[in-house]
Amino acid sequence: MKESEEIISFYLKFEDKEEIPNFQPGQFLTIKLDIPGQDKPIVRTYSLSDYSEKCEYYRLSIKGEPAPNGLDVMPGIASNFMHARIQEGSVILAKPPNGKFVLDMQKSIPTVLISNGVGITPMISMVKACTLVNPTHPIWFVHGARDGNFHAFRDEVTELAGQNPNLNVHFRYSRSTPEDTGKYQSVGYVDAALIQELVRQEAEYFLCGSPSFMQSIIQGLKESGVPDSRVFFESFGKPMKSVS
């Protein structure tokens, strides 16, 4: 299913149709792909981008990665193979869900989910889980995108906000178009100043996105007095906790 100009979602079920174990919101799936022309299988990790109380499938929402401009580097082998070759009925080898970048929905401290681009994928899982399991928990969902064509899951998050009065949503577009009118809250890039403006209380912060995006916000939060123990981020599929 196409989610944006760059992101396609794949819905995975067990080949033998057995019951699918649930996972913690924010975890990832490790898959192994046999890609023609490659000497060995390609292993990648992708965040699980959905959540339900009874798990009926694993959803991976994958961005096709083009070759970087001006660099002699191949485009994303795994992501482009998934986009071009994986279809209904395809079989993919996968390990059970894993990862420590997870949301504890029973904590009383408010949660702030901050993302840009494809970094939205674990945040979708977290915000859906919180709305289902603990809807009284205060949560902010802040996401940055180029414009509406590059904004995945906008309708899903907007619908959740309509169901959950404790969910505060802010979409910021860097290059909004006339067609985007009424579908975002501000123009520019998501930064620490915006977060401080929106969240005026103690909270835990979860970040996922491009390295420069996360580094800037982590530094900004630190300068505003947020302790490292309340800032968590995920980079390139590896769960990490911010350090001094």
The domain limits of the chain are 7-94, 111-241
Q: Look up the CATH number of domain 111-241.
A: 3.40.50.80
pLDDT in tens, 81-90: 999 999 999 9
**The model's pTM:** 0.91
pLDDT digits (tens, 9 = 90+) for 97-126: 999 999 998 889 999 999 999 999 999 999
Q: Is 60 exceeded by the pLDDT of residue 40?
A: yes
Q: Is 77 exposed, middle or buried (0-12, 13-18, 19+ CB in 10 A)?
A: middle
User: Is it the case that residue 166 has pLDDT exceeding 90?
Assistant: yes
Q: What is the pLDDT, as a whole number, of residue 67?
A: 52
What's the pLDDT band for 170 if we cut at 50, 70, 90? very high
What is the overall mean pLDDT for the chain? 91
Looking at residue 240, what is its pLDDT?
A: 37
Residue 136, burial from CB neighbour count under 10 angstroms (0-12, 13-18, 19+):
exposed
| Residue 42 pLDDT | 93
Confidence of residue 241 (pLDDT cuts 50, 70, 90): very low
Output the pLDDT for position 65.
Answer: 76
Fold of 7-94: Elongation Factor Tu (Ef-tu); domain 3 (2.40.30)
Residues 6+ apart with CB under 8 A from 137: 105, 107, 110, 111, 130, 166
3-state helix, strand, coil in the chain (%, to 5): 25, 25, 45
Asked whether the domain spanning 111-241 has the same topology as the one spanning 7-94, the reply is no
112, 190 Cβ separation under 8 angstroms: no
Give the model's pLDDT for residue 11.
Answer: 97
Is the pLDDT at 239 greater than 70? The verdict is no
Span 50-63, average pLDDT: 95
